[in-house]
């Protein structure tokens, strides 16, 4: 009996080492039961791991997010999670249907390897393997290609295929982009079909553009629609129900409230950069000569909140304008500065007699002066400036030159946005008659409310008093609440049951199209 015990123990160890009692992994159980095929009970995890690793190395070169996908499978011991959970339920087949239909969003199904995934599904479904190891490369490819396609499809629809901040130099709107946590969440989904349905864009603007895209036979028109569908996929900041939009190609400012238009007016925006700008910029970088510096006054795209209104504003003239315009005008006409109500400062101190400055002593690229245009009728900013935080020193403002609003192409400013109806805009911002009448008094306009007439009369009396020196100064007003503002660039959108189209004034459609071509 004792000798028999010593014989049994080595036998059990040997059997255990040879995996005789080891059950197949989950994928083996699922496929064995689904196909009623016993070969999958012999599924060898070690052998499959080796095939999976080689497949990962060969396929991940073409993946958009290879590090995230590799990390996910490493943390899950290379298990074919998607095939295990979604092959027998038919959800991988549903994935291919969505990928095939990606044309309705302007994508080419080839970018998702759709036909290859369908072929792999067919090979697995044919159930023709004589040995289980013949299935390993099919399962590994199906798993990884499905994972990559699933992530990309979701990301493209949810965030867009292009990060605008990577291709546009003056795009300062923060956009949310895919992150690894979100992608891992996708690969850990419990229901692929629900996720694919949920990610379909729900914006009314997007759906209207998409319908027009699917109904159009004009390639130029389809291209414009596709570009703007992409813009509506970008995850820009939530504007809320009440916000102001400046659309550069439309040369319009619109105040929206629950999708209804509260006010709308023409605007003038920054002029288009010089043709051949990139090459000229390289030449300037080499020479350092301001005469070689190309002009770029394009209004940046940005998101902020309007936080204050300045009546009778002072214009702090930017260095670029001082160098390119003020310097030459002052040299040409010694009285230009005083006649234009422009003060000159040297090391922070006001120069009382700017007409005496000998401009020949100074090169315009090293001007030691700062220039400010005082409040008044000749001020380039007009009577109102609408201020919001941004890194480009951009603001909305009135103008003393109203002729620009009669032009079809109103890309004529130095970068700031001139508004056609500043008083109407200010009234909406301040939001109450008391503050609005105070504001009107500052620009010599009578009040709307007759009980406020005394402010107006007091101001007019002060201006008329010749015994005292009346000095026009800026006055600050706060809006009733800070109003979100987005300066954007949309060349096609739905309005009144039709699609409106506008010219690509800055050439941004061209640049976006170049970036998107690989997805077509």
pLDDT digits (tens, 9 = 90+) for 128-185: 999 999 999 999 999 999 999 999 999 999 999 999 999 999 999 999 999 999 999 9
Over residues 289-294, mean pLDDT: 87
Contact call for residues 254 and 261 (beta carbons, < 8 A): yes
pLDDT at 16 over 80: no
Catalytic site includes residue 18 = no
**369-373 and 342-346 strand pairing:** antiparallel
Instruction: Supply the pLDDT for residue 216.
Output: 96
pLDDT at 9 over 60: no
For residue 326, give every residue at least 6 positions away whose Cβ sits within 8 Å of its Cβ, in sequence order, or none. Answer: 317, 337, 342, 371
From the candidates 105, 268, 297, 397, give the one annotated as an active-site residue: 397
Residues 388-429 have pLDDT tens digits of 999 999 999 999 999 999 999 999 999 999 999 999 999 999
From the candidates 105, 268, 297, 416, give the one annotated as an active-site residue: 416
- Burial of 329-339, coded b for 16+ CB within 10 Å and e otherwise, reads ebeeeeebbee
Instruction: Supply the pLDDT for residue 333.
Output: 93
pLDDT at 17 over 60: no
Catalytic site includes residue 416 = yes
Contact call for residues 307 and 387 (beta carbons, < 8 A): yes
Rounded Cα distance between 149 and 442, Å, is: 61
Over residues 297-304, mean pLDDT: 97
Instruction: Supply the pLDDT for residue 136.
Output: 98
Contact call for residues 139 and 44 (beta carbons, < 8 A): no
Q: Which residue has the tokens 């072929």?
A: 119
In this prediction, residue 469 has a pLDDT band, given cuts at 50, 70 and 90, of: low
Q: What is the DSSP letter of 490?
A: -
Instruction: Supply the pLDDT for residue 13.
Output: 45
Measured N-to-C along each axis, helices 66-75 and 180-187 cross at an angle, to the nearest 10 degrees, of 50
pLDDT at 268 over 90: yes
Residues 52-72 have pLDDT tens digits of 999 999 999 999 999 999 999
CA 315 to chain centre: 30
pLDDT at 288 over 90: no
Instruction: Supply the pLDDT for residue 18.
Output: 45
Percent helix / strand / coil, the chain, rounded to 5: 50, 15, 35
Q: Over pLDDT 90: what percentage of the chain?
A: 82
Q: Which residue has the higher pLDDT, 219 or 377?
A: 219
For residue 298, give every residue at least 6 positions away whose Cβ sits within 8 Å of its Cβ, in sequence order, or none. Answer: 170, 270, 271, 272, 273, 411, 415, 506
Residues 316-371 have pLDDT tens digits of 999 999 999 999 999 999 999 999 999 999 999 999 899 999 998 998 888 999 99
Measured N-to-C along each axis, helices 114-126 and 91-100 cross at an angle, to the nearest 10 degrees, of 150
In this prediction, residue 472 has a pLDDT band, given cuts at 50, 70 and 90, of: confident
pLDDT at 3 over 60: no
* Residue 415 three-state SS: coil
For the beta carbon of residue 363, count every other beta carbon within 10 angstroms.
Answer: 11
In this prediction, residue 22 has a pLDDT band, given cuts at 50, 70 and 90, of: low
Residues 184-198 have pLDDT tens digits of 999 999 999 999 999
Instruction: Supply the pLDDT for residue 365.
Output: 86
Residues 489-509 have pLDDT tens digits of 999 999 999 999 999 999 999
* Residue 442 three-state SS: helix
Instruction: Supply the pLDDT for residue 20.
Output: 43
DSSP H helices, 359-506, are: 422-430, 433-442, 453-464
pLDDT at 21 over 80: no
Contact call for residues 271 and 504 (beta carbons, < 8 A): no
Contact call for residues 341 and 373 (beta carbons, < 8 A): yes
Q: Over pLDDT 70: what percentage of the chain?
A: 95
Q: Taking all residues of the chain, what is their mean pLDDT, rounded to a whole number? A: 92
């Amino acid at each position: 009996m004792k000798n028999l015990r010593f014989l049994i123990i080595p036998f059990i160890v040997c059997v255990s080492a040879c995996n005789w009692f080891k059950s197949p992994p989950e994928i083996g159980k699922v496929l064995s039961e689904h196909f009623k095929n016993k070969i999958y009970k012999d599924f060898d995890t070690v052998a499959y791991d080796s095939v999976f690793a080689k497949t990962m190395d060969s396929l991940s070169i073409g993946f958009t997010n290879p590090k995230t996908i590799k990390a996910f499978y490493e943390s899950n011991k290379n298990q074919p999670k998607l095939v295990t959970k979604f092959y027998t339920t038919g959800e991988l087949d549903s994935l291919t249907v969505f990928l095939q239909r990606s044309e309705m969003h302007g994508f080419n199904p080839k970018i998702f390897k759709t036909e290859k995934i369908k072929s792999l599904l067919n090979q697995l479904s044919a159930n023709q393997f004589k040995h289980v190891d013949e299935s390993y490369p099919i399962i590994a490819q199906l798993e990884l290609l499905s994972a990559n396609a699933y992530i990309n499809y979701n990301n493209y629809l949810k965030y867009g295929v292009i990060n605008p901040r990577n291709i546009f130099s003056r795009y300062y709107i923060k956009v949310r982009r895919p992150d690894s946590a979100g992608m891992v969440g996708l690969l850990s989904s419990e229901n692929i079909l629900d996720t694919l349905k949920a990610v379909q864009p729900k914006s009314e603007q997007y759906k209207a553009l998409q319908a027009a895209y699917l109904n159009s036979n004009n390639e130029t028109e389809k291209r414009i629609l596709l570009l703007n569908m992409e813009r509506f996929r970008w995850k820009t900041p939530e504007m809320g129900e009440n916000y102001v939009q400046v659309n550069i190609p439309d040369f319009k400012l619109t105040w929206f409230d629950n999708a209804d238009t509260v006010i709308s007016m023409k605007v003038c925006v920054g002029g288009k950069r010089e043709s051949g700008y990139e090459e000229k910029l390289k030449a300037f970088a080499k020479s350092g000569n301001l005469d070689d510096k190309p002009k770029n006054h394009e209004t940046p795209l940005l998101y902020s909140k309007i936080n204050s209104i300045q009546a009778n504003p002072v214009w702090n003239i930017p260095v670029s304008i001082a160098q390119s315009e003020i310097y030459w005008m002052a040299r040409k006409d010694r009285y230009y500065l005083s006649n234009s109500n422009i003060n000159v400062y040297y090391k922070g101190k006001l120069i009382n007699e700017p007409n005496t400055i000998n401009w020949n002593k100074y090169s315009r690229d090293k001007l030691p002066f700062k220039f400010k245009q005082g409040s008044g009728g000749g001020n380039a900013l007009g009577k109102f400036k609408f201020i919001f935080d941004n890194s480009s020193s951009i603001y909305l403002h009135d103008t003393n030159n109203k002729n620009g609003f009669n032009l079809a192409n109103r890309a004529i400013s130095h970068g700031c946005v001139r508004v056609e109806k500043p008083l109407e805009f200010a009234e909406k911002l301040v939001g109450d008659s008391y503050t609005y009448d105070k504001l009107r008094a500052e620009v010599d306009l009578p009040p709307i409310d007759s009980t406020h007439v005394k402010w107006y009369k007091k101001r007019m009396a002060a201006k008329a008093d010749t015994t005292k020196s009346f000095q026009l100064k800026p006055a600050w007003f706060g809006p009733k609440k800070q109003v979100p503002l987005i300066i954007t660039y949309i060349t096609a959108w739905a309005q009144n049951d039709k699609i409106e189209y506008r010219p690509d004034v800055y050439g941004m459609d061209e640049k976006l199209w170049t970036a998107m071509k690989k997805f077509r």
